[in-house]
Chains A and B, each alone.
Chain A
Amino acid sequence: MKVKINDELKEIAENSKIIDILEAEEIIEPVAVDVFVNGEKVNFEDYESFKLKEGDEIEIVYLFASG
């Protein structure tokens, strides 16, 4: 199914959860993230259970620690 992640159209597996897309973005390696789906903030406790659906617009905010 197709979703938008930070404005980019991406193909992800059916029934993907937020945790799945965070793991796929591994090159970025943040120390923390904040995730919004269709403009609504998702609690971090729900990243493993929150099911994404076709057309969702996901926004990920990254915190980094190096300088």
Chain B
Amino acid sequence: MIKDRYFKHYLIPNFGREKQELLKDFKVLVVGAGGLGSSAIIYLATNGVGKIGIVDFDNVDITNLHRQILYSPSDLGKLKVEVAKEKIKNLNLDVNVEIFNFKLNKKNYDILENYDFIIDATDNIESKLLINDICIEHKKPFSYAGVNRFFSSTTTIIPGKSSCLRCIFKKIKKEHKDFGVFGTVPGITGIIQATEAIKFRTGVGELLTDRFLFIDLLNMKFRISKVNPDKNCMCRKN
């Protein structure tokens, strides 16, 4: 067997070369190139996802560096999407990168049409709900994740099949203070989002659908809650 960069995948019986091949024309859009986005993007790239789209409007700031592992001190002030594109090219030339230097909104979200799976790596509730709603409207599978201090939560949503954020949460605060983020929390959580994307494409294992994973790195606890679709939710109406 040829030893290329995916060799260790070929050794896994239910993954193998066949599943690896499927990633070649898999297109993942990562919205937000911060803490969650950095780790998701790096693993999508090293594992050979054929196309990665990145949406972000920010520049690299010194307060990003403890958790946003795509960026180095020499990147301070540069556009995140441009630095990210460069880093991906250094990691894996198999990956095609498309960058969007804007904040996702109701006028520009049609870019997601060209992608198979969306990763919500944004850092505000307004964007998270927007991604939920447009993914429902366009029937795009996506991974939600959010972090706070030592904690995070994540779930995978297949529109029309599994619970969306609005099925689960009926009263959501629109204002959100900055409560701080412990450096490793978005890292571990973004990796789970990248894993879900790859599992979606390859069909291996069980997705994190209708289940909410709560990660507590303070007490080192991982907990899964079962959640149910709400038959009256907007995601159930065609």
Contacts and interface: CB of A to CB of B under 8 A. Distances in A.
Interface residues of B, number: 38
A28 B149 contact: yes
Interface stretch (B21-29, B135-143, B162-170, B196-204): B162-170
B151 A65 contact: no
A32 interface: yes
Contacts, number: 85
B103 to A, nearest CB: 13
Interface stretch (B41-49, B92-100, B116-124): B116-124
A62 B128 contact: no
A67 B145 contact: yes
A44 B151 contact: no
**In the complex, which of the residues A6, A31, A36, A43 has the most CB atoms of chain B within 10 Å of its own CB atom?**
A31
B235 interface: no
B37 A67 contact: yes
A66 B214 contact: no
Given A32-B171, A44-B170, A66 B225 contact: no
**In the complex, which of the residues B124, B170, B177 has the most CB atoms of chain A within 10 Å of its own CB atom?**
B170
Nearest to A34: B168
Interface of A: 6-7, 27-34, 36, 41, 43-44, 59, 61-67
